Every structure is written in structure tokens, then in C-alpha cells.
């Protein structure tokens, strides 16, 4: 039996309300946009049109997954980040808009000396980027795509310990047409040394490391604490384990004038900054996300 989009939308809203989702009507709109591919204007314009029975049944099945607090990105199979669509698989960290400030910070720092992209492109110096704990690859791939659009040569090395993350990052690189500029490595935080005394050095190191205190994970909203990878969330007892490792190892991988940009958890800024104890040739500053939280730690060399 067919049902109008208007009536189906009403049923979705009721389902989400009964599941305890905040603002169920907004959830309904987002669900229809991300899962059914109906933009808001289409939802309104087609409100009285019937949904095919098969389509309604499929959407209802997926809506029940959302009512069970499965992240919408897992149901849709993708999430938007910095204006691009990224494939997301169940268990991986879902790209979030708060993380976009890391891209803004990277571009700002890269262009601080050469504000004109043409000037950087004319230097013909290839920038080497490392995205460690890469997950879907959204950070490194986005920065690489932005640089490519500006004609600036760059390469990217994506590192993660999870095979699923690397497979997804490879798929995202292919979707964005960036595969030829990227290498992948299964490793725990840092790439393997290449055998030379100097080792591999990067102009930009990006990371959204695990930073949730172990004891706090069970209290997170189900979409995160239940569904997302514990390995991608768990930052140890105080949430700072990976920052300690990053602070201890970054000097072996960063060029003298390179940039480290890390995502921070809420309220971790002072503790994280203290771990790095910058030398005279470096400086550290912070950048807030769109909700006013200190979200990015930026370390830059001067030599």
C-alpha cells in the first residue's frame, strides 16, 4: 500500500520521538536528505506524492536502525566534510564539522608566508603531508584536495592501525581522484623508519587521535560510545595518552619549518600544550571550533 511522503514523514517523526532522539522533526528531515536523497525543498514540494511501497519499506527498515541510535552516517554510508562526501563504514569515526577547523588552520599556516597560491605553486616544492590515525582519511584527503585545487604540488601518507580504516581511506582517495598522490601504511601512530639516518620528514602532520578518557566512553551518547570504534575513541585514563606519544615523537618526522595540527577534546587544551614544551624554534597556538571549544592545537617551527 502506497503512502504519501507527508504521512511517511509524520510516521518517521513519531518513531524518532519515541526513540528519544532530540528534535525528531529535524532528525526526520536529515534522514530523508541523507538516506533517501531528498533535499529539503524536494521534501516540501513532493509532500503529497506517494512513496512506492518497496521504497517506503526500505526507508522504514533503515529508520528503525536510526531509532536504535545507529549513526546516520553509517546508515547512509557517507558523511559530508568540508564540502566533500566521504564514505563511512560502521565502526569508523564519523567525520564531524568540528574537525574542519584543522583544515582551516592548515591552509592558514601554509599560506601565511606565501598568501598567493600561485607563488607557492611556482616554487615547485612538493609538500609532504602525514595524516596519522587517519580513519576515513577525511583530514589528509581534504587538505590534499584543497592544495590540488590551488595548483600546489603535495603528497599524502595515510597511517592507521585498522585495516578497515585504510580500506575506506583508499576508497575515498579513489572517489576524489587523489590515489596517485597518496601512500598508505598500517602502523600504530608513526610510519616505519625508512632506514636512513634522517628518516621521513613531513611539512604537515595532521591527526585526530583518540582522546576520550577510558572511563568516560560508556557515558557518551550511544551514537558514539556504542557504535564508533573504541580504539578510535579511547585516549587512556586521562585521555592524553596519544598526545604524549605525539609530543615525544613528532620531532623525528616534522621538517624544521613544518606544522603539526592536532584535534583536541573539550577542556584538554592546557594539558595538551604543556606536553609539547615547545623549544625556542617553535610556537604553539590554539584554534576554536564553531561552538567555541578549543579544538585544534597548532605547532609550527621557525627554523
What is the model's pLDDT at position 117?
Answer: 60
Same domain assignment for residues 221 and 161: yes
Residues 101 and 17 in one domain: no
Q: Please indicate, yes or no, whether residues 98 and 242 belong to a single structural domain of this protein.
A: yes
Same domain, 102 and 205: yes
Asked, for residue 114, whether it belongs to a domain, the answer is: yes
Tens digit of each residue's pLDDT (9 = 90 or more) over 138-191: 999 999 999 999 999 999 999 999 999 999 999 999 999 999 999 999 999 999
pLDDT reported for residue 196: 41
Residue 4 is placed in which grid cell? 504519501
User: 60 burial class (0-12, 13-18, 19+ CB within 10 angstroms)?
Assistant: middle
* Residue 74 in domain: no
Residues 223 and 159 in one domain: yes
Same-domain status, 160 and 273 = yes
Largest Cα separation within the chain, whole Å, is: 72
- Within a domain: 130: yes
CATH code for position 139: 3.40.50.150
Whether residues 48 and 170 fall in one domain: no
pLDDT per residue as tens digits for the range 230-282: 999 999 999 999 999 999 999 999 998 899 999 999 999 999 999 987 666 67
Domain boundary among 68, 89, 124: 68
Domain that residue 33 falls in: 3-68
Task: Looking at the structure, tell me whether residues 195 and 48 fall in a common domain.
Answer: no
Give the number of domains in the chain.
2
Per-residue pLDDT at 2: 80
The yes-or-no verdict on residue 199 having pLDDT over 90 is no
Tell me whether residue 73 is in a domain.
Answer: no
What was the pLDDT predicted at 55? 93
> Are 151 and 193 found together in one domain?
yes
Assign 111 a pLDDT band (cuts: 50, 70, 90).
Answer: confident
How much of the chain, in percent, has pLDDT values that exceed 70?
Answer: 91
Q: φ, ψ for residue 155 (rounded to 5)?
A: -130, 160
> pLDDT at position 277, please?
73
Is 9 inside any structural domain? yes
For residues 107 and 256, state if they share a domain: yes
**Average pLDDT of span 71-83:** 96
Domain assignment of residue 48, yes or no: yes
42 and 152 in a single domain? The answer is no
Domain boundary among 18, 36, 68: 68
For residue 70, pLDDT over 50 is answered with yes
Report if residue 95 sits inside a domain.
yes
Cα 136 from chain centre? 7
Q: Which of 158, 188, 185 is nearest to 172 (CA)?
A: 158
Q: In this model, does residue 107 exceed pLDDT 90?
A: yes
pLDDT band, residue 77 (cuts 50/70/90): very high
The pLDDT assigned to 197 comes to 44
- pLDDT value for 195: 43
Residues 146 and 190 in one domain: yes
Asked if the model's pLDDT at residue 32 lies above 90, the reply is yes
DSSP for 1-43, written as a single string:
--EEHHHHHHHHHHHHHHTT-SSHHHHHHHHHHHTS---HHHH
**Residue 112 pLDDT:** 75
Domain boundary among 36, 68, 100: 68
Q: Over the chain, what is the mean pLDDT?
A: 91
pLDDT tens-digit series, residues 210-233: 999 999 999 999 999 999 989 999
Amino acid at each position: 500500500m502506497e503512502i504519501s511522503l507527508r504521512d511517511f514523514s509524520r510516521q518517521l517523526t513519531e518513531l524518532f520521538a519515541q526513540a528519544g532522539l532530540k528534535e525528531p522533526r529535524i532528525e526526520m528531515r536529515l534522514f530523508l536528505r541523507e538516506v533517501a536523497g531528498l533535499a529539503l525543498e524536494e521534501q516540501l514540494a513532493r509532500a503529497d506524492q506517494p512513496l512506492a511501497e518497496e521504497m517506503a519499506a526500505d526507508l522504514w527498515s533503515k529508520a528503525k536502525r536510526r531509532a536504535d541510535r545507529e549513526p546516520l552516517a553509517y546508515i547512509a554510508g557517507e558523511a559530508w566534510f568540508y564540502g566533500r562526501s566521504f564514505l563511512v563504514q560502521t565502526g569508523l569515526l564519523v567525520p564531524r564539522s568540528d574537525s574542519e577547523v584543522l583544515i582551516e588552520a592548515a591552509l592558514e599556516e601554509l599560506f601565511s608566508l606565501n598568501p598567493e597560491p600561485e607563488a607557492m605553486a611556482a616554487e615547485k616544492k612538493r609538500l609532504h603531508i602525514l595524516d596519522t590515525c587517519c580513519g576515513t582519511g577525511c583530514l589528509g584527503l581534504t587538505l590534499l584536495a584543497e592544495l590540488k585545487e590551488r595548483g600546489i604540488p603535495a603528497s599524502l601518507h595515510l597511517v592507521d592501525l585498522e585495516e578497515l580504516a585504510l580500506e575506506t581511506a583508499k576508497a575515498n582517495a579513489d572517489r576524489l581522484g587523489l590515489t596517485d598522490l597518496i601512500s598508505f601504511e598500517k602502523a600504530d601512530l608513526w610510519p616505519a623508519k625508512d632506514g636512513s639516518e634522517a628518516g621521513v620528514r613531513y611539512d604537515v602532520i595532521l591527526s585526530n587521535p583518540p582522546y576520550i578518557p577510558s572511563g568516560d566512553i560508556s557515558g557518551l551518547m550511544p551514537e558514539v560510545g556504542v557504535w564508533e570504534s573504541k580504539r578510535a575513541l579511547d585516549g587512556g585514563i586521562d585521555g592524553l595518552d596519544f598526545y604524549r606519544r605525539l609530543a615525544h615523537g613528532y620531532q623525528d618526522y616534522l621538517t624544521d619549518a613544518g606544522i603539526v595540527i592536532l584535534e583536541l577534546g573539550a577542556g584538554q587544551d592546557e594539558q595538551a600544550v604543556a606536553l609539547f614544551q615547545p623549544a625556542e624554534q617553535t610556537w604553539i597556538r590554539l584554534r576554536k571550533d564553531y561552538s567555541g571549544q578549543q579544538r585544534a592545537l597548532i605547532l609550527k617551527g621557525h627554523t
